[in-house]
Structure 1
């Protein structure tokens, strides 16, 4: 895609305007600053910031992610001695997908014990991840914290964490999913596993919230719906939640996984109330 020139009061505003125009997020573009802009003196001689922006070229994602998950699953199988339980997908929830829309959860079987000690949960996590990172030749510190009996936070730290995050967090999501399978094998009670590194989850959430508000503003001005890029269920919920109380626009999910995406549109029913 060719570069386009976009301006704003400053570089940040110019970049935001570009993201709205290209209907994408900051991690999917590359840009060059042509003019940083200046406020001038008492409003005189003011110059706008100008940047050249274009979308990054996308490479096939589905096959790559599948390959990564397959390689990582081999490590999971070799790390734990018991047989894996095939996961059943949880149906997505359209229109404000506020309910849990996570990828999959393990089946429950009555022949296993319900409660697993925290020590065993931590051992499964550190053994699986440790073996996986060793196979990847990565030096990673694994910090396991128990928020409550049903939720475990796993913080990864070390050099080259960008490799573990991957494109739009897809590698990190795969690691989280496989770790969840390993921990919940042989358990009646499901334990939620959250894997993060370098505060990526919060940074991505803030980016998506900002994008949602910018797209809503564009929809109000153009009165035309805007389709966002394909997102996983967690990220779609962020968009839905950010705009659910907006007085003029609504959101809905369209398409099939892995291309399911959010559409932001002008809600005539809401408009009639105000």
Structure 2
């Protein structure tokens, strides 16, 4: 992309200075084209015309990104910052160097990622084409890549050993690609992305899917779904006293269910002399009066 401006002045030098001022660059950064030479007035009163000079600079997407970052750092009070641009295919890697600029990275690179995103938007407006900007400070990207690669392989091995899926924390697309690449090196493991927007994250699991936990068999597996665990606590008042528990069982199993309305009973105690001779109820005769 070419940026240009036309400067006017009594002399060519003054016209160049005017054009550079309009472009916002120094004279050594621009190229010049003289459009009109100055013409002096006749007798110092009539005619005459100023000089016209065209100043232009060729701005690349990376240069536009660097200029934007300089303005941002200036507003943040960061000075003495150097930018090293390394051109890549359809993009550029911009390394930032300076003193006490580690805070620009932010928590897990969040601030650096935000600046990278904004600089990418500026660079894409230069030629209206996709141009990828990558920012780096103190080899942070390389160190982060190593950390994520180790994490991806470690979680893939764990997923195969246990037979379960594991979800990682939300990451940006660049870091998710690193995880996917690392998991591909582990045979039998796979990875995919879930979630939307800022909550999108990587899930790692076995290719064959999750295994059922040991010792748990469902109704279709031949086991009893309602089988009680050996250490499961028994229900309260089971087979014992009926204080606050379920309704008591009728002594005569063959009789009809007890009525819902309460009844009054009178018990006549009879001494039990011999168990073998006793044929009546265990606790005596019961007469029911409704």
**TM-score normalised to the size of structure 2?**
0.49
Within 2, Cα distance between the matches of 1:148 and 1:118? 18
1:228 matched residue in structure 2? 168
Within 2, Cα distance between the matches of 1:176 and 1:133? 13
Q: Which runs of 5+ in 2 are unaligned?
A: 1-22, 25-56, 210-290
Q: Which runs of 5+ in 1 are unaligned?
A: 1-79, 82-116, 270-274
The structure whose RCO (Cα within 8 Å, separation 6+) is larger is 1
Pairwise CA RMSD = 2.5
1:254 matched residue in structure 2? 194
1:147-202 per-position Cα deviation (integer Å, ceiling 9, x unaligned): 24632221111123321111111111111111111122142332221111100111
Within 1, Cα distance between the matches of 2:88 and 2:98? 26
Within 1, Cα distance between the matches of 2:63 and 2:188? 50
Pair 210,174 (structure 1): closer, same or farther in 2 beyond 3 Å: same
Within 2, Cα distance between the matches of 1:149 and 1:252? 27
Equivalent residues, number:
156
1:94-134 per-position Cα deviation (integer Å, ceiling 9, x unaligned): xxxxxxxxxxxxxxxxxxxxxxx864445423321111111
1:214 matched residue in structure 2? 154
Higher-Rg member (1/2): 2
Within 1, Cα distance between the matches of 2:148 and 2:130? 28
SS in 1 for 2:198: coil
2:91 matched residue in structure 1? 151
Deviation of 1:249 (Å): 1.1
Runs of 4+ residues over 6 Å off in structure 1: none
Structure with greater helix percent: 1
Within 2, Cα distance between the matches of 1:151 and 1:157? 19
1:170 matched residue in structure 2? 110
